[in-house]
Structure 1
Amino acid sequence: MGWRAALGIGCCLLLLFYVRDHPALEAPRQFAVDTAAVIYRVAAAPKSAFIGLGDFFQTHSALRADKARLEQENLVLKGQTQKLAAVLAENGRYRALLRSAETLGREVMVAEIIAMTAAPSRHELVIDKGSADAVYVGQPLLGADGLMGQVIRVGQYSSQALLITDATHAVPVQVLRSGVRGLAEGTGALNRLVVRHIAATTDIKEGDTLVTSGLGGLFPAGYPVATITTIIKQPGSSFSQVIAVPTASLDRGRHVMLAIDLMPAGSQ
């Protein structure tokens, strides 16, 4: 409040003190009281406005800080939710793997995938089991839904396996429905196998399941390998071109199974 306003209010109050009992001055006295109130409000207005403006900026700053904090907390919660979803999905795949082991009726060992090859056409992976765990070269590698590949190199505490889709891999198969035999070869694509030696006149159709035939003694008979998706009968050819997709999920999951009771004689 300025000194002029204070002086005006003081004069009004002093006048009221001396004339408070005079009836003739009642109206002027009320006018003086109202005038003093108006002067006080006008003088106090800048201060009130300044205080209100300060409160506004303080509240706005606090709201911005709260917004930033809530955004950070939301980001953390989203990350935790995504991690939880990934863990739940992996647990689901692991339980499916164990159920598959029970269905096989064989003793198996679960291994964890710790690395994969970077080359596009080479489908190899490294697992955390080796000779210390009785892993051997040629041992079948199984997933929850079928054959994945075989062990090709063994270290003491880790091993390298070749997937069935590798361009150098082949596995003897037969059609589960009709028993027709063929050879499923890798193509270098994770979702594609080519089945050789299928005569054009044999009983096969799209949707047929291919399983290991057991020929050659490397893979036990009966493991699911692939599902036939395409059959092309070429004019003038004695064989059909047969395309199949692996039943095992070769591009997902962190765990695989090794059948530990299938070691051929002389492998140790």
Structure 2
Amino acid sequence: MKPLFAKKTSLGVRLLVFAVLSVALMVVDARLDALKVVRSQMGMVLAPFYWLADLPVRVWEGATQQMTSSSNLLAENQKLKAELLLMQRRLQKLATLTEQNVRLRELLNSSALVDDRVIAGELIGVDPNPFTHRILVDRGAKDGVFIGQPVLDASGLMGQVVEVMPYASRVLLITDVTHSIPVQVNRNGLRAIAAGTGNADYLELRHVAETADIKVGDLLVSSGLGQRFPAGYPVAQVTEVIHGSGQPFAIVRAAPTAMLNRSRYLLLVFSDSRSPEERANAAAEAQLNADRQDEESAVEQAPTREQEAAQ
């Protein structure tokens, strides 16, 4: 078989022949289906070469996409963590504000029920000495505070003012070992002296006879003796009564009703010049208003509770 081109055939002739052949093949492929099978077979044979030729590009794109995705995920993760911290901070702040609102409402109701004139104060410091139970409040001589003034929170009597400064005062708590207060059992009027023990969890009643009618659960209120604390303020609740301990008197311990370690807002009590009838009427009216507010709050919260139950 003779070769397609002789040795002396010029390059121009070869190029022309290949160009004509290519045009002819394109025309035949476009007009007829004769080369369809050949093209299909050629595509199958050349597919691995296409895949190998495109492999570096796909590897590079995959690595780049992986690095970009990792970077985006890390950035998104950091952003979500920051947003989570912000939301948690806001949630904590909201919980704090809600708790403060509850405490202030309780204090407001308590100040309405107190017969005497009061001013509200805020705790701003605690004595670091573990053997002394004293706190610092933000009311002082400029507000009319005086030494010996009773201090209470929304739950009961806390102590008395022992030092007055122009804009602050120091309060001695009822649990301090140097503090004592005359009390009486609210159930039967039995009188005793409640002394601080240095422990914020309980007081001790001094000189209670073995045969005294006192039992666990009795509420102790200020008796008004000594003219320092007005009568009728809750002081403590009896938690332990021990008879026959070998001591000349019974051992009686009581837990303070005031939240000595948790209260932030306090009331400083002034003497009241009103008559007993006027104070009784004012107390009854204050109690009625407090009950009415509680009923209104319960009515306002009822639809919300129903919706939560429905959900």
Question: TM-score under structure 1 normalisation?
Answer: 0.86
Give the counterpart of 1:89 among 83, 99, 111.
99
Quick one: distance in 2 between partners of 1:34 and 1:85? 70
| Cα displacement (A) at 1:18 | 4.5
Quick one: distance in 2 between partners of 1:223 and 1:160? 21
Residues 117 and 272 in structure 2, CA contact (< 8 A), matched pair in contact too: no
Residues 139 and 262 in structure 1, CA contact (< 8 A), matched pair in contact too: no
Give the counterpart of 1:148 among 136, 153, 158.
158
Report the residue type matching 2:94 in the other structure: L
| Cα displacement (A) at 1:182 | 0.6
| Cα displacement (A) at 1:110 | 0.2
Alignment of 1:130-209 (within 5 A): 130-209=140-219
Q: How many residues align?
A: 251
1:105 is the counterpart of 2:99:
no
2:215 match: secondary structure: coil
Alignment of 1:1-268 (within 5 A): 16-20=22-26, 21=28, 26=35, 28=38, 31-32=41-42, 35=45, 39-261=49-271
Compared CA separation, residues 17 and 126, structure 1 to 2 (3 A): same
* Between 38-47 and 26-35, the greater mean CA deviation after superposition: 26-35
Quick one: distance in 2 between partners of 1:55 and 1:62? 10
Quick one: distance in 2 between partners of 1:200 and 1:160? 37
Compared CA separation, residues 30 and 222, structure 1 to 2 (3 A): closer
| Cα displacement (A) at 1:236 | 4.8
Q: Following superposition, which runs of at least 4 residues in structure 1 exceed 2 angstroms of deviation?
A: 13-42, 234-238, 260-263
Compared CA separation, residues 53 and 17, structure 1 to 2 (3 A): farther
Compared CA separation, residues 30 and 216, structure 1 to 2 (3 A): closer
Residues 117 and 123 in structure 1, CA contact (< 8 A), matched pair in contact too: yes
Quick one: distance in 2 between partners of 1:80 and 1:159? 33
1:160 match: secondary structure: strand
| Cα displacement (A) at 1:41 | 3.9
Quick one: distance in 1 between partners of 2:246 and 2:226? 31
Report the residue type matching 1:164 in the other structure: I
Tell me the equivalent position of 2:309: none
Compared CA separation, residues 60 and 188, structure 1 to 2 (3 A): same
1:76 match: secondary structure: helix
Deviation string, structure 1 residues 186-240 (Cα, Å, up to 9, x no partner) = 0111111011011110111000000001111101111100000001113554411
Report the residue type matching 1:92 in the other structure: V
* Between 234-243 and 125-134, the greater mean CA deviation after superposition: 234-243
2:226 match: secondary structure: coil
Residues 19 and 25 in structure 1, CA contact (< 8 A), matched pair in contact too: no
| Cα displacement (A) at 1:44 | 1.9
Quick one: distance in 2 between partners of 1:251 and 1:153? 20
Residues 116 and 272 in structure 2, CA contact (< 8 A), matched pair in contact too: no
Tell me the equivalent position of 2:306: none
| Cα displacement (A) at 1:144 | 0.6
Quick one: distance in 2 between partners of 1:246 and 1:29? 99
* Between 198-207 and 53-62, the greater mean CA deviation after superposition: 53-62
For structure 1, list consecutive stretches of 5 or more residues without a partner in the other structure.
Answer: 1-12, 264-268
2:181 match: secondary structure: strand
Deviation string, structure 1 residues 230-255 (Cα, Å, up to 9, x no partner) = 01113554411100000000011221
| Cα displacement (A) at 1:260 | 2.2
For structure 2, list consecutive stretches of 5 or more residues without a partner in the other structure.
Answer: 1-17, 274-311
Residues 123 and 266 in structure 2, CA contact (< 8 A), matched pair in contact too: yes
Quick one: distance in 2 between partners of 1:191 and 1:98? 25
Residues 90 and 253 in structure 1, CA contact (< 8 A), matched pair in contact too: no
Question: TM-score under structure 2 normalisation?
Answer: 0.75
The structure with the larger Rg is: 2
- What is the aligned-residue RMSD (CA, Å)? 2.3
Quick one: distance in 1 between partners of 2:246 and 2:120? 48
Compared CA separation, residues 163 and 262, structure 1 to 2 (3 A): farther
Report the residue type matching 2:127 in the other structure: T
| Cα displacement (A) at 1:39 | 3.6
